[in-house]
Amino acid sequence: MENIALRVEELLSKMTVREKIGQLNQPETPTEKTIEEFKALVRKGEVGSILMSVGATAGNDAQGAISNEFYNEIQRIAVEESPNGIPILFGRDVIHGHHTVFPIPLGMAASFNDELVKKSYSDIASEASAESVHWTFTPMLDLARDPRWGRIIEGTGEDPYVGARVAESVVKGLQGENLSDKGNMIACAKHYIGYGASEGGRDYHRTEITDYSLFNYYLPAFRSAVKAGVKTVMSSFNDISGQPITSSSYYLTDILRGKLGFDGFVVSDYDAVIQLKKQGVARDNADCAKMALNAGLDMDMHDFCYLDNLEKLIESGEVSEETLNESVRRILTVKMEKGLFENPYCYGGEYDKIVHLKDAEDLATESIVLLKNENNLLPLSKSANISLVGPYATEKRSLLGSWCIDGKTDGMDNLLDIMRKTCEGKLYYSCGYGLGWDSSAKNSYLSDVVVMALGESWSCTGEARAVSDISLPPEQIALIKKIKSTGKKIVGILFCGRPIAMQEISDDLDAIIYAWHPGSCGAQAVCNVLFGDVSPSGKLPVTLPKLATHIPLYYNVTSSGRPVNCYYNENPANCYVDSVPTPCYPFGFGLSYTEFKYGETKIDNDKISLDEVLNGKKIKVSVSLENIGDFDAKETVQIYLRTPVAKWMRPLRELKGYQKVSLNKGEKTEIIFEIGAEELGYYSPQGEFIVEKGIREIYVGENCLIENKKEITIC
């Protein structure tokens, strides 16, 4: 690292102010009309990075395929014809897959399998880096409690601990042990910070987040990403309580660099710098550039505010050259750590697509959550006569989800394709979706069981894709009721990107599989579970509400002063007079085909001094787990904690650990958690970590509503 620092200073001393500003400039890929003008910028050293897509909503807009020849030519001009030969950093939104598409990140979080997530992102990096991509804008670490927000699909849900675990897995999977090694990519933790709290779930809107909530809920995933070595962070569009993140030295410098210790560079989101005018804190473009750079925002994505204005701002003294130098140092350091100066060009790369598809299938299978299974209807016998009904039986594109720019449906199987290969009995298919008569009811009468493939389109999820109602479309609800009238048992498979309202459909379905938008191998993953080749092991990283009107509804809520903690079934009828807002399916919930028997929770020391805790002593919490059912299976054992009395109100439950274990039928094991200062403390509104004396309640089991409470005392 010392050698890199010396190289950076030597290079910096040779650069003009204009060339330095160029390193902060990230335009998007040029069109045929603008290519010559773009190359001229590169020759002058005025392009530091290229956004390898076009448009603000690239995740839902068609993008061109990557040409190594094109990007190598741009790179050649930068390396051979620009004043100091500084290579360009190429960045693309490779969010949950490149050519092989893995489940949407919210689905990945449902797997609770850190190692599989890490391996999947290593696969993703090897594919994208073989096509000139150095840098990807993931992981998205926005805590999200409102499923109306379309970008909830890109994150990990409502829990900061899950977000922190996934952040570490993604960063390490992408960047590897050595960032400069072939097949690794630069990760980018986004959107810093609070974007997931957009008011009403409306994309790009204002947020209100207290510092207490910021440090305890919204920052942990970013803290984890920084600890894991993430090299870049993307600032978010939003303001927090009237202060845009883009222009906030408090958020970008004091907290991100000061309290979290981030030492990489910060890139803006698309056009976020120029948006300071629209947000009402900047008068003109020069004002935007000055405020953003002085706040600690290093690279300007797309809007050219830095390139067009910083030179004059430095001449006038409104921005110091040392401030500019510090941003350039950060960018050059990351480029050197990536090895771009030694290996600026991309000549492709070899990877095993078959292995990647298998990893995608495994992750999709472990992401599937079994929500309901009345009378053990599942798994289905492959010899059963089955009626397959619903619009998602033949759907492919929505299985991939939003934000898969380079994923294609070519050669991909849909659910009907896989079921035709799997079923040994008769398989009847009807779309059942539309006006007038169709064969869905008739086919149902001919079958032993009906499988309904339902869900939401990929096109109503992602950026700028908020919805006002998280219910299934009324046509699909009507279809469920139509099939229900036949009296046949119904298995509902829900291909959804976000949590949906369940009350209107859950009673009419005998079994429910929540498959998310599961990726390239999603149909095979569903059949793995549907027919019992694999026992389902996914757990919900978000709460599924009964009604759309109950949101936001999340488990780690603080206690009301009145006895109306509805999530935990405390007088739920007192929350609304017209409905009961308990969760339909709570955080951490997920069924299996086998039965797991939890033993008594044991604590090795139920009393410990505060000094011992602060000096690193930990409490061991253990529980036995036995598979007493008929299937080999995996279970995610979860540990929750509650602090009944504290200086600041604490959540009724907080996830503090999980372990996913595999047990053959009849097998038994012991699960051990260690609880120390990190788990027992919390952050003050000033960002100070606090561990207080007093009682802690500990819950170990299968979801957030477990009741086998144990207590420890910190004295």
Catalytic positions: 269
Complete DSSP assignment for 506-555: HTT-SEEEE--S--TTHHHHHHHHHTTSS------SS-B-SSGGG-S--S
Question: Encoding tokens for residue 458?
Answer: 């990929």
**How many C-beta neighbours within 10 Å does residue 475 have?**
12
Measured from the Cβ of residue 323, the count of other Cβ atoms closer than 10 Å reads 17
Sequence length of the chain is 715
| CA gap 127, 130 in Å, rounded | 5
How far is 527 from 388, CA to CA, in rounded Å? 12
Number of other CB atoms surrounding residue 48 within 10 Å: 30
Q: Quick check: helix, strand or coil at residue 491?
A: strand
The angle formed by the CA atoms of residues 677, 680 and 681, to the nearest 5 degrees, is 80
CA distance 240 to 207: 5
DSSP H or E segment with residue 400: helix 397-400
Per-residue burial over 614-643, b if 16 or more Cβ lie within 10 Å, else e, is: eeeebbebbbebbbebebbbbbbbbbbbbb
For residues 498 and 461, the answer to whether their CB atoms sit within 8 Å is yes
- From the DSSP assignment, how many helices (H) and strands (E) are in the chain? 23, 27
Take residue 642 and report the two structure tokens written for it: 């509650």
Q: Are 360 and 120 in contact (CB under 8 A)?
A: yes
Residues 394, 391: Cα–Cα separation, whole Å: 7
- Residue 582 to residue 243: CA distance in whole angstroms: 35
Q: Take residue 78 and report the two structure tokens written for it.
A: 């930068």
Q: CA-CA distance, 96 to 105, in Å (whole number)?
A: 6
* Concatenated DSSP letters of 460-473: GSSTT---S--SPP
- Which among 587, 608, 599, 611 has a CA at the least distance from the CA of 675? 608
